[in-house]
Amino acid sequence: MSENTETARCLIIGSGPAGYTAAIYAARADLKPVMYQGMQPGGQLTITTEVENFPGYPKGITGPEMMEEFKEQAERFGTQVRGGVVTEVDFSKRPFTAKADDGRTIVAESVIIATGASAKWLGLESEKKFMGMGVSGCATCDGFFYRGQDVAIVGGGDTAAEEATYLAKLCRKVYMVHRRSELRASKAMQHKVLNTPNIEMIWDSAPEEVLGDESGVTGLRVRNVKTGEARDLALMGFFVAIGHKPNTDIFTGQVELDDQAYIKTKPGTTQTSIDGVFACGDVQDHHYRQAVTAAGTGCMAAIEAERFLGA
């Protein structure tokens, strides 16, 4: 074995709530987990502001602080947390191998994938500038901060439709900006959106610029793609709901993925198509996508890995 090759009983790839929870359980079960944190240590929570819906934090906590606490708890029981990225895996035979960008090759008896998903963004300069200051990728997480205010959401799929109706219960007015004149969302969701009085559809339009000042977002400039006409909407929150992309590029051809490239797991478990490889959190869940559900599946993955190794 070369000096850059090492063995691990349990390799955890990814460091959001799913990865850290898996690490806490795996470390306490004496699996001596090695974790590669990935491109965005702490995951999607590190780009949100306040987290108020994770049990145990009655006063709320910021996403980055919460992820630091998860990390501390995982390290307390002996998880080796490494700030690198796994770039390649081979699950074709056991033990599995993974190469990381620190030059190491890990030969692992079990692998827990917790690489999450990334929200797709429009790519506007102003969207980046006001991220966490009025621009959000999650209405369930951040909608509460805009109670009684006017907000906009962009997208025409089920997520945008669901989030628009959620926001409509909290906010005074919700502008739903969609680039076509027909929603992609299911008929039931379309019906809901179109029959909610405080949702105003802005059809055939694309957000052009998020307007704001040092206090955060103050408006959104949208342009009608058919007429070329621009309109400025006064609002305080702008939600982007144009889909998510699971972070599964390196797993293509290694484990079974569904038609949207999420990892397939056996219902009620975190077991992937390969024995000994488990997946937890958003990389295998496009439905709930909450920190607490990700943490729950992280716990399941570690328990299943422990049972697999003990078998």
Q: Which two tokens stand for residue 64?
A: 């980055």
Cα 157 to chain center, whole Å?
A: 17
Active site residue 90: no
Active site residue 142: yes
- Tell me the closest approach of the beta carbon of residue 178 to ligand NDP, in angstroms: 6
Give the whole-angstrom CA distance, residue 155 versus residue 120: 11
Q: Is 159 in the site for ligand NDP (CB under 6 A)?
A: yes
- Tell me the closest approach of the beta carbon of residue 189 to ligand NDP, in angstroms: 7
Within 181-210, which residues bind ligand NDP (CB under 6 A)?
184, 206
Within 5-44, which residues bind ligand NDP (CB under 6 A)?
none
Positive or negative torsion for Cα 203, 205, 210, 212: negative
Active site residue 138: yes
Q: Which of 7, 33, 1, 6 is nearest to 305 (CA)?
A: 33
Q: Is 179 in the site for ligand NDP (CB under 6 A)?
A: yes
Q: Which two tokens stand for residue 200?
A: 């105003």
Burial class from Cβ neighbours inside 10 Å (0-12, 13-18, 19+) for residue 19 reads buried
Q: Is 160 in the site for ligand NDP (CB under 6 A)?
A: yes
Q: Which two tokens stand for residue 100?
A: 């990381």
Q: Please identify, using beta-carbon distances, which residue of 128 and 180 lies nearer to ligand NDP.
A: 180
Q: Please identify, using beta-carbon distances, which residue of 93 and 287 lies nearer to ligand NDP.
A: 287
Q: Is 180 in the site for ligand NDP (CB under 6 A)?
A: yes
Q: Is 235 in the site for ligand NDP (CB under 6 A)?
A: no
Within 269-288, which residues bind ligand NDP (CB under 6 A)?
286
* Binds ligand NDP (CB under 6 A): choice among 16, 63, 137, 155: 155
- Tell me the closest approach of the beta carbon of residue 265 to ligand NDP, in angstroms: 16
* Beta carbons within 10 angstroms of residue 301's beta carbon: 34
Give per-residue burial for 34-72: e unless 16+ CB within 10 Å, then b. bbbbbebbbbbbbbbbbbeebeeeeeebbbebbbeebbe
Residues of the shown chain interacting with ligand NDP in the complex, contacts defined by CB under 6 A: 122, 154-160, 162, 179-180, 184, 206, 242-244, 286
The residues that are catalytic are 138, 141-142
